[in-house]
Amino acid sequence: MMNASEPSYREIKDQNGRIYRVGETPQQIMGYGRWVMILVPWIAMFLISTFEYGWGAAEHTLAHVYHWNIVDAFWNYTVYVIFEAGASYPTGWLREHGYLPVKRAMLIGGIMVLLAFYFLAHSQSLWVAYLGYAALGGLGAGMVYSSAINITSKWYPEKKGLRTGFVNGAYAYGSVPFIFMFSFYFHPSNFVTVLYLTGLILGGGIIIVSFFMKDPPKNWWPKDVDPLRWKDDRRNRALKANPPAVKQWTTKEMMGTWQVYVLWITFVLIAGVSLFGTGFNVPFAKHDHFGPFIAAASAGVLAIVNGGGRAFVGWVSDQVGRRNAMTIFFAMEGLVQFGVLASGLAHNEFFFIFFAFFAGLGGGALFPLFATITPDYYGEANNASNYGVVYSAKIVGGIYGGVASAAMISSFGYTGGYILAGILGLIAALLTLTLKQPHPVLAQQTLGAAEGETATQ
């Protein structure tokens, strides 16, 4: 029985049986407006982005200090991506089942991030870097990412595209100050101090913001939005382009649909392309004798547009539909790989930055698009674990975008790496054309009709 002091609510069902919990305001649940669940996860994503987007700028100094070759160095990048992506599903599952509240997951992740940079500062052995920095930091960043990326769509189930894109964008452009610091002020003489400072800023900041994180109750819906009228409002262009999930799918139910496997394979391909560009644009620029400013600027432009463009990508997907947006941006990401390669080989600084701009936009698009199409297809209630399954595809993409590409470049040069990346991006775009929202109710009706016909024969 509900206490008198607890906020009252009622549960509404639509014609598909989907439940909406209506009546509680964000202030009643957590003491402040839901806009805080845009700001706080945005800060958290900002703080963890340097692991992924800053590595290409930091790698040269670390390789010099520790005597790593390019494959040694990019094993760190790959191990990080494996653990960061691998942490998403278990963190989400524990969160959805009540074992690991989002606040605690964020706090633990912040502590791991802080420690990771301490270990990187003392990585005379490669295994210290792989385990202490890449694996531990990957787990911590993954817990933070999983906690932050899903919470906005939980608090904004009726308008998640632009907001999720905005929060997600910080995961790229948050690295920009550190990209320039690693490019100009990160030297063998001061690398320990710089890494200590980086860990303190990133880890300490995450620990502070963790105390503001709170999930809404399952099936929560904003009090001032009628879920049935909203659902049937044909004037809502975003809704018309992206109809809401017909039910709240569990992860087990989701795994019984073919769409999740297409999403997973597509994520593998486009994540590999995006991570390849993120990791190798700076080394490629240095290899082609661009100055340190152009190298850093290309990475900075890629990160800024990669992140800042995600809100734009979210808005576009609201207008034209997630699937159509995927096709457009993934095809662009594939095509611009050839432009980056051609401008680099031609030593054309202007076009190198130009194509880095569009590589950033296309590479960043995958994260808000997958983060929004998953709840569009499977609902918000179990999105932390459902998206964790889809996001786990980044593990395989990270292997390609990191150490596998490093090995390929060592053997065949940058030309082969960029050509293959371009082809994979175009294949990913083609795969998106097969996607459509799963409809279990329609499937059950069809099955029932078939059984009825059989019974009358």
| DSSP category for residue 403 | I
pLDDT of residue 446: 35
- Point out the least confidently predicted range of 49-53, 77-81, 102-106, 450-454: 450-454
pLDDT of residue 452: 42
Q: What percent of the chain has pLDDT over 70?
A: 88
Span 334-353, pLDDT tens digits: 999 999 898 888 888 788 88
pLDDT of residue 414: 83
Which pair of tokens denotes residue 446?
A: 């069809």
pLDDT of residue 307 exceeding 90:
no
Mean pLDDT confidence for 127-132: 94
Which pair of tokens denotes residue 219?
A: 């099936």
CA distance 285 to 208: 37
Residue with tokens 């998106």: 432
Mean pLDDT confidence for 120-124: 93
Which pair of tokens denotes residue 75?
A: 């094993």
* pTM of the predicted protein model: 0.75
CA distance 20 to 227: 7
CA distance 202 to 195: 10
Phi, psi (deg, nearest 5) at residue 311: -65, -40
| DSSP category for residue 214 | -
pLDDT: which is higher, 135 or 54: 135
Cα atoms in the 13 Å half-sphere on the side-chain side of 312: 12
- Which range of 86-100, 153-167, 197-211 scores highest in mean pLDDT? It is 197-211
Span 418-437, pLDDT tens digits: 888 999 999 999 999 999 99
Using DSSP's 3-state secondary structure scheme, residue 12 falls into strand
| DSSP category for residue 401 | I
Return the number of other C-beta atoms located less than 10 Å from residue 237's C-beta: 11
Mean pLDDT confidence for 149-165: 82
CA distance 365 to 169: 9
Q: Let me know: does 263 contact 374? Beta carbons within 8 Å.
A: yes
CA distance 245 to 378: 5
Alpha helices (H) along 97-160: 102-120, 126-128, 136-155
Alpha helices (H) along 218-291: 227-232, 237-241, 251-254, 259-287
Mean pLDDT confidence for 257-283: 87
pLDDT of residue 295: 63
Q: How far is CA 51 from CA 302, 326, 436, in A?
A: 15, 25, 34
Return all residues near 56 (Cβ < 8 A) that are at least 6 apart: 278, 279, 280, 281, 282, 283, 299
pLDDT of residue 268 exceeding 70:
yes
pLDDT: which is higher, 234 or 228: 228
Mean pLDDT confidence for 66-87: 87
Please provide the average confidence, as pLDDT, over all residues in the chain: 84
- Point out the least confidently predicted range of 49-63, 276-290, 354-368: 276-290
Return the number of other C-beta atoms located less than 10 Å from residue 124's C-beta: 9
Mean pLDDT confidence for 393-405: 82
> Strand pairing partners for 21?
11, 220
Q: How confident is the model at residue 269 (pLDDT cuts 50, 70, 90)?
A: very high
pLDDT of residue 91: 92
pLDDT of residue 282: 66
Mean pLDDT confidence for 210-220: 92
Q: Which of 267, 272, 262, 280 is nearest to 423 (CA)?
A: 272
Return the ∠ at Cα 248 (arms to 244 and 249), rounded to 5°: 115
pLDDT of residue 220 exceeding 50:
yes
Q: Which of 280, 42, 19 is nearest to 151 (CA)?
A: 42
pLDDT of residue 417 exceeding 80:
yes
- Point out the least confidently predicted range of 117-121, 160-164, 225-229, 309-313: 160-164
pLDDT: which is higher, 242 or 250: 250
CA distance 74 to 407: 9
pLDDT of residue 1 exceeding 50:
no
Burial of 61: CB neighbours in 10 Å, binned 0-12, 13-18, 19+ = middle
Q: How confident is the model at residue 262 (pLDDT cuts 50, 70, 90)?
A: very high
Q: Which domains does the chain have, with CATH numbers?
A: 32-219+243-442 (1.20.1250.20)
Q: Which amino acid is it at 454?
A: T
CA distance 47 to 199: 10
Q: Which of 191, 185, 201 is nearest to 63 (CA)?
A: 191
Mean pLDDT confidence for 306-329: 87
